[in-house]
Structure 1
Amino acid sequence: MKKFNFTLILILVVNIGFSQSEKRTYTTIRVKDAPIIDGLLNDEVWKNVPIASDMLQLNPNEGQAATKKTDVKVIYDDKAIYAYAMLYDSSPDSIRKELGNRDDGSINADAFYIGFDPYNQLNPYVFGVTASGVQLDYTDSDPTYDAVWESAVKINDQGWAVEIRIPYSAIRFPSKENQEWLFQFTRSIKRSGEYDQFALTPKTASNSRLFWGKIVGLSNIKAPLRLSFTPFVTAYAENAPYYDANQNLKYGTSVSYNAGADIKYGIDDRFTLDLTLLPDFSQVQSDNKIKNLSYQEVTYNENRPFFKEGTDLFNKNELFYSRRIGKTPSNFYALPYMINQGDAIIENPSNTKLINAIKISGRNDNGLGIGFFNAITDNTYAVIEDSTGNRRKIMTEPLTNYNVIVFDQKLKNNSSVFLINTNVIRNGIYDDANVTGSGFTLNNKKNSYAIDAFGVLSQKFQTVDTIQDNYNAILGYKYFIGARKSSGNFQFGLSHYFINKNYDSKDLGYYVIGNKMSEKIYISYNTYKPNKIFRETYNTLSFYYTTNPESKKTISSQMYLSLYGTFLNYSNLSISAAYTPFITYDYNEPRVDGWYSRAWRYFYMTADYQSDARKKLTINAHVEGGNFIERFSGIGYGTSLGALFRINKKMQIRYNFYYAYDSYNIGFADFDENYNIVYGGRRLITFENNLTMQYLFKNDMSINLISRHYNNTGEYLKYYSLQTDGDIIENSTYNGNRNFNYNAFNIDLAFTWQFAPGSLISLVYKNAIDAESPIIYTNYYKNFSQTFNSPQINSISLKILYYLDYQKLKKSKNV
Structure 2
Amino acid sequence: MKFLITLLTVFSAFCLYAQEASQTKLPKRIYTTKKLKKAPIIDGDVSDDAWNVVEWSSDFVEKSPDEGTPPAHQTMFKVMYDAKYLYIALRALDANPELIQQRLSRRDGFAGDRINVIIDSYHDKRTAFVFTTTAAGVKGEEIATGNGDNFDESWNPIWYTDAQVDDKGWTAEMKIPFSQLRFGNAKEQIWGFNVNRTIFRLQERSLWQRIPNDQAGFISEAGELHGLIDLVSQKQLEVQPFTVMQYDNYLAEPNNPYRDGSDFKLNAGLDAKIGITNDLTLDLTINPDFGQVEADPGAIALDGFQIFFREQRPFFVENKNIFDFRFANGRDNLFYSRRIGRNPHRGANLQAGEFADVPQNSTILGAAKFSGKTQNGWSIGVLESVTANEFAEIRQVDGSTREEIVEPLTNYFVTRVQKDFNERNSYIGGIATATNRNLDGNFNELHKSAYTAGVDFRHTWQDREFYVEGNSILSRVNGSKEAISNTQKSIARLFQRVDADYINLDENRTSLTGTGGRVEAGKQGGGNWRYNAGFVWRSPELELNDVGFLRQTDEMIQFTEARYLWQVPTDIYRNMNLRLEQSTSYDFGGNLNRFRYELQGDISWINNWSTSGGFGSSNNIHRNAFLRGGPRWRAADDIFYYASINSDRSKKFSFRVSYLKVKSEEDVFNRNRYTFRINYQPFDSFSMSLDNSLSKTQDRTQYVTTADFGNLKRYILGNIKNDTWSSTLRLNYSLNPNFSVQFYGQPYISRGRYSNFNYVNNSVASSIDDRVNFYTENQISKTTTNSGSSIYTIDENLDNDTYSFSNPDFSFVQLQTNLVVRWEYIPGSELFLVWARGSAGSQNINDSLTDSVSNQIFDVPANDTFLLKATYRFVR
* Equivalent residue for 1:45, pick from 27, 41, 50: 50
- Matched-pair contact (CA < 8 Å) for 2:117–2:132: yes
What is the 5 A alignment of 1:539-618? 539-550=578-589, 552-581=590-619, 583-592=620-629, 595-618=631-654
Distance 1:549 1:312, change over 3 A: same
Distance 1:736 1:206, change over 3 A: same
Distance 1:758 1:248, change over 3 A: closer
- Matched-pair contact (CA < 8 Å) for 1:183–1:214: yes
The one-letter amino acid paired with 1:321 is Y
Whole-Å separation in 2 of the counterparts to 1:207 and 1:780: 48
Whole-Å separation in 1 of the counterparts to 2:845 and 2:514: 43
Deviations 1:199-231 (A, max 9, x none): 111222221122111111111110123101111
* Equivalent residue for 1:772, pick from 842, 848, 853: 842
Deviations 1:531-588 (A, max 9, x none): 24221122211111101121x222222111221111111111111222113x222111
Whole-Å separation in 2 of the counterparts to 1:213 and 1:445: 20
Q: 1:780 Cα shift? A: 2.1
* Equivalent residue for 1:426, pick from 433, 437, 458: 437
Matched, 1:682 2:682: no
- Partner residue, 1:207: 217
* Equivalent residue for 2:118, pick from 115, 118, 122: 115
- Partner residue, 1:366: 376
Matched, 1:702 2:740: yes
- Matched-pair contact (CA < 8 Å) for 1:326–1:352: yes
Matched, 1:179 2:189: yes
- Matched-pair contact (CA < 8 Å) for 2:813–2:852: no
- Partner residue, 1:263: 272
Deviations 1:465-524 (A, max 9, x none): 89xxx9822100012111111113211111111111100011111123111111111111
- Partner residue, 1:635: 670
- Partner residue, 1:534: 573
- Matched-pair contact (CA < 8 Å) for 2:636–2:668: no
Normalising by the residue count of structure 1, what TM-score does the alignment of the two structures yield? 0.91
* Equivalent residue for 2:658, pick from 612, 622, 633: 622
Matched, 1:331 2:341: no
- Matched-pair contact (CA < 8 Å) for 1:627–1:634: yes
* Equivalent residue for 1:744, pick from 802, 805, 814: 814
Matched, 1:402 2:439: no
Whole-Å separation in 2 of the counterparts to 1:788 and 1:796: 20
- Partner residue, 1:12: none
Q: 70-79 or 433-442, which moves further after superposition?
A: 70-79
The one-letter amino acid paired with 2:693 is Y
Whole-Å separation in 1 of the counterparts to 2:108 and 2:236: 22
Residues matched between the structures, number: 774
* Equivalent residue for 2:361, pick from 351, 369, 384: 351
- Partner residue, 1:92: 97
Q: 1:662 Cα shift? A: 1.3
- Partner residue, 2:425: 414
Whole-Å separation in 2 of the counterparts to 1:75 and 1:783: 58
In structure 2, the gaps of 5 or more residues are 1-23, 146-151, 327-332, 484-507, 765-770, 781-793, 795-803
- Partner residue, 1:384: 394
Q: 395-404 or 662-671, which moves further after superposition?
A: 662-671
- Matched-pair contact (CA < 8 Å) for 2:34–2:53: no
Matched, 1:496 2:535: yes
The alignment partner of 2:261 has SS state of strand
Whole-Å separation in 2 of the counterparts to 1:723 and 1:175: 72
Deviations 1:69-111 (A, max 9, x none): 2221111111111111122222222111011111112x2x211
The alignment partner of 2:98 has SS state of helix
Distance 1:276 1:250, change over 3 A: closer
Matched, 1:525 2:540: no
Distance 1:171 1:783, change over 3 A: closer
Whole-Å separation in 1 of the counterparts to 2:572 and 2:33: 44
Q: 1:386 Cα shift? A: 3.7
Whole-Å separation in 2 of the counterparts to 1:547 and 1:682: 28
Q: 1:791 Cα shift? A: 5.5
- Matched-pair contact (CA < 8 Å) for 1:402–1:508: yes
Whole-Å separation in 2 of the counterparts to 1:693 and 1:615: 17
Deviations 1:38-80 (A, max 9, x none): 2222332322512211110001210011222222111111111
- Partner residue, 1:301: 310
Q: 1:776 Cα shift? A: 3.3
Q: 1:454 Cα shift? A: 0.8
The alignment partner of 1:635 has SS state of strand
The alignment partner of 2:851 has SS state of helix
Distance 1:783 1:151, change over 3 A: closer
Whole-Å separation in 2 of the counterparts to 1:545 and 1:527: 29
- Partner residue, 1:62: 67
The alignment partner of 2:676 has SS state of strand
- Matched-pair contact (CA < 8 Å) for 1:739–1:774: no
What is the 5 A alignment of 1:666-681? 666-672=701-707, 676-681=714-719
Identity of aligned residues (%): 24
In structure 1, the gaps of 5 or more residues are 1-18, 807-815
Distance 1:32 1:497, change over 3 A: same
The alignment partner of 2:70 has SS state of coil
Matched, 1:513 2:583: no
The alignment partner of 1:306 has SS state of helix
Distance 1:716 1:149, change over 3 A: same
- Partner residue, 2:680: 645
Distance 1:249 1:621, change over 3 A: farther
Whole-Å separation in 2 of the counterparts to 1:600 and 1:240: 47
Whole-Å separation in 1 of the counterparts to 2:293 and 2:66: 42
Deviations 1:331-366 (A, max 9, x none): 24xx5xx433x2444322222111111100011221
RMSD of Structure 2 on Structure 1 (CA): 2.2
- Partner residue, 1:447: 464
Whole-Å separation in 2 of the counterparts to 1:697 and 1:45: 31
- Matched-pair contact (CA < 8 Å) for 1:743–1:787: no
Whole-Å separation in 1 of the counterparts to 2:121 and 2:601: 39
